[in-house]
């Protein structure tokens, strides 16, 4: 290993299945590392892998990782970097076997272990799960620790929490046990920061114009200390940047309230302190840990039916009337109408436009049914059949297509005692990892913050987009969405906290007007986090919303015009 006894360097080279292929090599050659992690799994990915495995029982893992290892496994061993990845997906044993064959063909001496036991699909009836395609419990980090303690060079997992990919190496390096809650919580926070790859180094960042975006963004590194504190950084001579802002943005990504539950510890997000510690270095400290929950979360995906969609272009005058005409014609033309037929009109047209595209709107038609024949060629043919018999300027951007299956995600929960967390060591031995002895059903209550602190005077105001002073990061949480909003000073946060309550958020985001919204304060980060229940229906794969993963929700919020104190706007000049 290249690290010293005080700090271990854990890099991440993948934030999702499909991330930059070259990142593994870039991370291995760009500077010193002790461990390299790769996160390939998401709720939607588990559904995709589940469908793959229905077709081929030997599939179910992230094939990209295998190709990356063909290129870089020898390099990792040469540089003394251990690999930890959840690319095993629904078939960690299969990926480990393929990696073993690959290592032999490359003549690379490497010890490969894999973690399983998360896959509960064969026990779905026992737990009362409703016919899922996949059912995977989120395991913790101590299986990874055990594999590394036993000398593994590569650890392949199935569904573990994203942060566990970082917690496991840190726990192994420093010898942490289940009782080291503050250290574990610090590593969970570090893992959450780096798990989404370049999102921590400027990717999808509200204030991207302040960073060097002219080169490919570097991937993040967490330098974790023995007490769980860390410094987030990246390799030199890479694009992007690591600032308090970029780290704050990622901390707010896809979380709920101040408590961030993991199988090994509950991390208190309201205890996190961030300090700029030099160029592209942010120190993370003060993280408090509490007992983990008794139950494990379970990722449940199941096929919900079939869908088809067509996009129609409406140009010029009478857009609303044109949309109404073609929607009515299509409904009348379908002899066997689908169970759900949804029309969404996106008014992206401009009056008196100087290009045809700028004068056009888009009407999106989405059909869903459990019977594929009702949303297949009949729908596409009905749309095409109106080409010469509907509104003036009729045009479609999608060709006739067959129906495609779609799924829905749900969260389930099972007692950790009911799940066998298993380490399959490289020597063939098997070790079972017991649940944390620190688990609890009850944590001390947190103060409620459902509304703002009340009116505060900040002097004259000016009408301006919220994003002039505030950043935001948003994402999907099953059928809900979160949007974290942060500012950059204590005074700005005092204003934001007093000003942006749930009532105002409903006005600024009318799509959420009738939905339940939870508001959480994170004063140490100068941030508020809102969780909007039901915004995404039954989840990403099922949702027909324009932005099905709510990735742009925060940017929409930033674009809304509000009354900002004049002094804050003046400070930007």
Inter-residue contact 402 to 536 (CB < 8 Å):
no
Residue 43's pLDDT is 78
Q: Is 509 exposed, middle or buried (0-12, 13-18, 19+ CB in 10 A)?
A: buried
Quick count: other Cβ atoms within 10 Å of Cβ 254? 21
Q: What domains can you pick out in the chain, each with its CATH number?
A: 7-292+411-433 (no CATH), 304-402 (3.30.70.380), 461-571 (no CATH)
Residue 454's pLDDT is 56
Question: Which positions of the chain have pLDDT values less than 70?
Answer: 1-5, 447-456, 538-544, 573
Residue 37's pLDDT is 98
From the list 558, 509, 546, the residue with the least C-alpha distance to 531 is: 509
Cα(57)–Cα(118) distance, rounded to whole angstroms? Answer: 17
From first CA to last CA, the distance across the chain in angstroms is 48
Cα(342)–Cα(365) distance, rounded to whole angstroms? Answer: 6
Residue 1's pLDDT is 42
Residue 297's pLDDT is 97
From the list 496, 533, 499, the residue with the least C-alpha distance to 513 is: 533
Quick count: other Cβ atoms within 10 Å of Cβ 454? 8
Residue 221's pLDDT is 98
């Amino acid at each position: 290993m290249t690290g010293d006894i005080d700090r271990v360097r854990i890099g991440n080279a993948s934030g999702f299945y499909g991330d930059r292929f070259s990142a593994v090599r870039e991370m291995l050659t760009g500077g010193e590392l002790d461990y390299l992690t790769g996160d390939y799994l998401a709720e939607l990915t588990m559904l995709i892998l589940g469908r793959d495995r229905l077709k081929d029982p030997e599939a179910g893992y992230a094939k990209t990782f295998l190709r990356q290892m063909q290129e870089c496994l020898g390099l990792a061993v040469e540089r003394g970097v251990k690999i930890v990845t959840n690319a095993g997906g629904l078939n960690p044993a299969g990926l480990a076997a393929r990696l073993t064959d690959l290592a032999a063909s490359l003549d690379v001496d490497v010890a490969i272990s894999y973690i399983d036991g998360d896959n509960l699909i064969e026990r779905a009836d026992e737990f009362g799960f409703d016919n899922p395609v996949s059912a995977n419990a989120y395991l913790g980090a101590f299986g990874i620790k055990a594999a590394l303690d036993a000398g593994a060079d590569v650890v392949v997992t199935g569904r573990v929490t994203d942060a566990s990919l970082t917690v496991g190496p840190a726990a192994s390096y420093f010898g942490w046990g289940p009782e080291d809650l503050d250290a574990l919580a610090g590593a969970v926070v570090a893992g959450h920061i780096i798990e989404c790859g370049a999102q921590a180094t400027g990717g999808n960042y509200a204030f991207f114009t302040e960073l060097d975006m002219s080169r490919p963004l570097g991937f993040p590194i967490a330098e974790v200390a023995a007490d769980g504190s860390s410094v987030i950084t990246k390799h030199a001579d890479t694009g992007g940047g690591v600032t308090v802002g970029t780290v704050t943005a990622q901390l707010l990504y896809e979380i709920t309230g101040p408590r961030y539950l993991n199988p090994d510890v509950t991390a208190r997000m309201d205890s996190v302190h961030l300090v700029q510690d030099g160029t592209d270095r942010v120190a993370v400290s003060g993280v408090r840990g509490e007992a983990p929950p008794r139950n494990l979360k379970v990722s449940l995906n199941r096929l919900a039916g079939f869908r088809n969609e067509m996009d129609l272009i409406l140009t010029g005058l009478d857009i609303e009337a044109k949309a109404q005409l073609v929607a009515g014609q299509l409904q009348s033309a379908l002899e066997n109408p689908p169970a759900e037929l949804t029309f969404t009109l996106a008014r992206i047209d401009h009056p008196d436009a100087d290009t045809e595209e700028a004068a056009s709107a888009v009407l999106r038609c989405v059909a869903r049914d459990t019977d594929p024949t009702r949303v297949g060629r009949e729908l596409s043919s009905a749309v095409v059949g109106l080409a010469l018999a509907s509104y003036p300027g009729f045009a479609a951007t999608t060709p006739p297509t067959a129906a495609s299956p779609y799924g829905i995600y749900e969260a389930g929960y099972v007692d950790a005692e009911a799940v066998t967390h298993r380490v399959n060591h490289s020597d063939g031995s098997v070790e079972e990892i017991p649940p944390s002895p620190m688990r609890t059903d009850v944590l001390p209550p947190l103060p409620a913050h459902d509304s703002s602190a009340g009116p505060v005077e900040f002097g004259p105001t000016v009408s301006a987009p919220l994003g002039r002073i505030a950043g935001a990061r948003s994402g999907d949480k099953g059928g809900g969405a979160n949007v974290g909003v942060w500012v950059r000073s204590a005074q700005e946060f005092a204003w934001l906290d007093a000003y942006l309550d749930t009532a105002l958020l409903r006005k600024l985001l009318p799509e959420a007007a009738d939905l339940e919204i939870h508001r959480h304060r994170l004063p140490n980060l100068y941030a508020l986090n809102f969780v909007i229940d039901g915004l995404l229906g039954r989840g990403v794969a099922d949702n027909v919303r324009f932005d099905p993963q709510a990735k742009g929700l925060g940017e929409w919020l930033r674009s809304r015009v509000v009354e900002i104190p004049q002094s804050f706007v003046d400070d930007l000049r």
